[in-house]
A and B are shown apart, each in its own frame.
Chain A
């Protein structure tokens, strides 16, 4: 695989140039409120999982110093797996830590973003889970119920703070915590932890209103379904720890939950790694157990052209990586807990990343809620039927496409779309450790040998009133195993809308999206990259000038910009 970083820059710049030039508020800018930091600590064994296994109940809290205009939404952070104890430069995995060993305070590693969020009027509690980490692999679910119950216990504690007060805060938070506006962020195994917490809270009758869940570089061993709540999965492209980006399943699995009234997002951070999101895990952040996971586990010599130490590298440093967290954690919770809808375009991918993100190399996937006026699915591409008939009952026809099939979804589709590639390079279909037979994202696999090829979806008369929607969207990725794609160069094609009177308009994907980048990275011995990740392409319907949007009759992907090529497509829809 050849280096392709420069082509990645090029296509991203083109897409950003086409983005609206409107000034946008930066969700990651420090807010107006003064912030206080405190901790509560009830001891190393305050919670006994299954009545037996000791777990600490400890958290660091950031909150508005002036609480008079509360109640405020509550956001819980849960760190991931990491060694639990240290002495000098040595780290250990046990709990509680026997003297002279001391706990590694992984829960303190997100202060940088908690402070910003609190400055906008949020109470943020980052909880410690060393007790879980020390023994989670003894449990079939790898401690996910344990993590879920630990979060619930903290929420119970916050309910006590809110209702009657308790040490160490006494009455400080009485009446100040909105437990029906709760958000959770979990990192790595904590990412599945917050997801399992979401389902656990639901199983016991939803005593708390979990309105937003953010798994960060998460594992996804058991595929819990995070539906009916806003979801944003943040995936770092250069993750060397959860190196298959299995957290992609969280988004893919809930796209078509019937009547789900909540939006789903993926934030793909090109150049981000796994560990830098936690300052305690970052080299220099603590005396023991720090590393850059990309170099530690995947690429010790740093030779990868995109993620390594090479001149073409796009790898983000620690400050940049955390910038993406500040922007996209804060924006997500402000959007869905604070109802600050001015940030929705950011999470649709309609505007460039804000300055606080410290990089422009971020791509979004977006699935609007299942509601009339929010999303009209034209072709879900879930089964072979969708190769000839779309979800509106219209005919579907390929022209000059080879292959033309579905892959990655339910049997009889082939399990992976890139059969010769390691599963770490195919996050949409990578196997799940505790749900090993479950399939992944169903994708349309197409290729072409001349630039007259096309893929055509008809809309039957009466189904094509899309005036309630603002964009035509689909997800797409360049198939780097298809040799017809020019190596290291972005792909491109056109999209044509046709109405009932035969009027049509055609636009280039590259004018609105950078999703057709050639997947970057790859060097001898590097397994995790390049990766296939389908990102959302959104084309505003206003771009199709002259087409009657009350009577759209056809959507055509014209593979007309390169002589040859091969791409993967999913989720064709009109969307708000």
Chain B
């Protein structure tokens, strides 16, 4: 909590922090925990230091594809979100495609603080 009496200092600090926001997002420990076959679907499990707790629609972007069917893990961990992809959609994704989590569909939604960079897709991790 920032004391209003120290708002000037806080403002300067915040401005500095804001400039590094994008970089910080990448450093926050966003990882693709697993990629698993589940029947006719593929489940991609994301783990993040920041919980997935906003009300807008969770969206996973892989390259230019968007995936929007997701769930929490059975243990209810808010720092994990599991997306379900049809196998044919996963087949169209390429190793090396950027993987981004965002709220709401469409390009340009990666600009908010809720957006997170999960690096690049490695399809060789399927069921490993």
Inter-chain contacts of B10 with A (CB < 8 A): 301-303, 309
A205 on the B face (CB < 8 A): no
Chain A residues contacting B53 (CB-CB under 8 Å) are: 83, 289, 291
- Determine whether the beta carbon of A138 is less than 8 Å from that of B55: no
From residue 2 to 16 of chain B, which have CB atoms closer than 8 A to chain A?
A: 2, 4, 7, 10-11, 13-15
* A274 to B53 Cα, complex, angstroms: 13
CA distance A241 to B56 in the complex (A): 7
Contacts of B103 in A (CB 8 A): 243
User: Min CB distance, A1 to chain B, in Å?
Assistant: 13
Q: Are the CB atoms of A433 and B7 closer together than 8 Å?
A: no
A47 proximal to B (CB < 8 A) = no
* A 408-447 to B, binary, CB cutoff 8 A, 1 in contact else 0: 0000000000000011100000110110100000000000
The residues of A with any CB-CB pair to B shorter than 8 Å are 80-81, 83-85, 91-94, 101, 134-135, 137-140, 142, 188-189, 219, 221, 241-244, 246, 274, 289, 291, 293, 297-298, 300-303, 309-311, 422-424, 430-431, 433-434, 436, 523-528
**Distance of B60 from chain A, by nearest CB (Å):** 11
Is A297 within 8 A of B54, CB to CB? yes
Q: Total contacts A to B, CB within 8 angstroms? A: 129
Q: How far is the CB of A355 from chain B (nearest CB, A)?
A: 26
Q: Smallest Cβ distance from A353 to chain B, in angstroms?
A: 26
Select which of A92, A134, A300 is within 8 A of B77 by beta carbon: A92
Q: Is the CB of B76 within 8 A of A84?
A: yes
B114 at the interface (CB under 8 A from A): yes
Q: How far is the CB of B2 from chain A (nearest CB, A)?
A: 5
Cα–Cα, bound, A423→B107 (Å): 10
Give the interface size class of chain B: 35 or more
Nearest CB of B to A18, in Å: 33
Q: How far is the CA of A282 from the CA of B13 in the complex (A)?
A: 26
Instruction: Show the binding face of B for A, using Cβ within 8 Å.
Output: 2, 4, 7, 10-11, 13-15, 17-19, 21, 53-59, 68-72, 74-78, 84, 103-106, 108-109, 111-114
- CB neighbours of A243 from chain B (8 A): 56, 103, 112
A92-B78, A525-B19 given; 5 more Cβ-contact pairs under 8 Å = A94-B76, A142-B57, A241-B54, A243-B103, A436-B105
A525 to B19 alpha-carbon distance, docked (Å): 7
Partner among B76, B109, B111 whose Cβ is within 8 Å of the Cβ of A93: B76
- Cα distance A536–B19 in the bound complex, in angstroms: 37
In the complex, what residues of B have CB within 8 A of residue A80's CB?
Answer: 55
Q: Is the CB of B4 within 8 A of A309?
A: yes
Known contacts: A300-B113, A309-B2, A424-B112. The answer to whether A138 contacts B14 by CB under 8 A is no
The answer on a CB contact under 8 Å between B18 and A303 is: yes
CB pair A241–B55 under 8 Å, yes or no, is yes
- In the complex, the answer to whether A188 meets B15 with C-beta atoms within 8 Å is no
Query: Hey, which chain A residues are within 8 Å of B13, CB to CB?
Result: 301
Q: How far is the CA of A431 from the CA of B56 in the complex (A)?
A: 12
Are A134 and B7 also in contact (CB < 8 A) when A298-B113, A301-B14 are? Answer: no
Q: In whole angstroms, what is the CA distance A38 to B55 when docked?
A: 29
Residue ID in chain A nearest B14 by CB atoms:
A301
Closest to A243 in B: B112
Q: Which residues of A contact B55 (CB under 8 A)?
A: 80-81, 188-189, 219, 241-242, 274
A423 cross-chain contacts in B, Cβ below 8 A = 104, 106, 108-109
Contact A527 to B111, CB < 8 A, known contacts A219-B57, A301-B2, A433-B105? yes
- Closest A-chain residue to B112, C-beta based? A527
CA distance A94 to B74 in the complex (A): 7
Q: B113: shortest Cβ distance to chain A, in Å? A: 6
Which residues on the B side are within 8 Å of A311 (C-beta)?
4, 7
Task: Name which of A81, A94, A140, A433 has the most chain B CB atoms within 10 A of its CB.
Answer: A433
